[in-house]
Amino acid sequence: MSLISSKKTAPDNQMPVSNKLKLGILFSGIILLAEFVGGLASNSLALLSDAGHVLTDVLALSLSYFALMQAKRPSNFKMTFGYHRIGVLVAILNSISLIGIAVFIFYESFQRFQSPPEINAWLVLPVALLGLATNLAVALILHSEQKENLNIKSAFWHAAGDTLASVGVIISAVVVIYSGNYLADIIVSVIIGLIISLGGINIFRQGLRVILEASPKDINISQLAASVKNIPGVKDFHHIHIWSISPEIHALSAHVLIDDCPVSQADYIRQQIETSLREGFALNHITLQMECRVCRANDILCQLEIGRQSHSHKHH
């Protein structure tokens, strides 16, 4: 995943992300109404399942727009890192809604499997085609942005899941028309549920890693420490903390052991380290503590202890 801030501005010839989300909300609202009415009229669980997912799309896109606006707010004394994690919380909420709607689809599919109802497939087909066109448009609108922002990615997966769901509904309608087998509608509903749940679980896991301040998956800490130690003037690099403020913004704090030297020389070494970390490991926010004496415990990682000051974390 590209590590670019969510504050990225769109080029002059590209639609702003906020406007893309507004279009997605509008399109999703239209298809929600069409699929809900069509699902009730045709008695199609597949179409109603898709309508339920589209409802979560509208909520997801609306929450994503809200989070995007919040992320643009500047840092203040109460929120010194800004409001970027609102987007992460929204992504987690969206992922839970995806999993919830999948569970409902599985339950309803089981109920209908015992006694498959009659379905008006000729009504399902045109509504599903309209849904496919609309969902595909929303997914394409958000595709380029979802690679750089977990919040937008959660909204994109809602739309992408609906696109696949619409394809499934179309296939089930055709099968029912030509074979009269209403089980096709139920089978497609289960497949839709599986697709939705897998996307939701993936986004939930990514969001949880940020909330738990886990180190980014694509950063090898041992390799990072070794690269810094190869910089001239650096004797040791330890007590490393790496976490994500948001999936697009990675932060690092660490101790750097150097020889006792003038401040200007220490500052030059610091600049070399920061340049190496930004270019080699895509770190956005770097805080370094320069030292000329060895810590009592200079492990590569810092062991935090509760209730008393840890000897391994005493700063000089």
Question: pLDDT-based confidence at 286, cuts 50/70/90?
Answer: very high
Other CB atoms within a 10 A radius of the CB of residue 96 amount to 15
Q: What is the mean pLDDT of residues 86-113?
A: 81
Compare 50 and 2 and report the one with higher pLDDT: 50
pLDDT in tens, 186-214: 787 788 788 778 878 888 888 888 888 88
Which residues pair with residue 285 across a beta bridge?
251
pLDDT value at position 146?
A: 62
Looking at the structure, give the CATH architecture of the domain made up of residues 221-313. 2-Layer Sandwich (3.30)
Give the C-alpha separation, 69 to 7, whole Å. 10
Q: Is the dihedral of CA 186, 188, 192, 194 positive or negative?
A: positive
Contact status, residue 25 vs residue 58, Cβ threshold 8 Å: yes
* Nearest residue to 248 via CA among 8, 3, 1, 17: 3
Please determine whether the domains at 17-211 and 221-313 fall in the same fold group of CATH: no
Structure tokens at 137: 């448009």
Which residues pair with residue 251 across a beta bridge?
243, 285
Looking at the structure, give the CATH architecture of the domain made up of residues 17-211. Up-down Bundle (1.20)
* Nearest residue to 21 via CA among 73, 74, 57, 70: 57
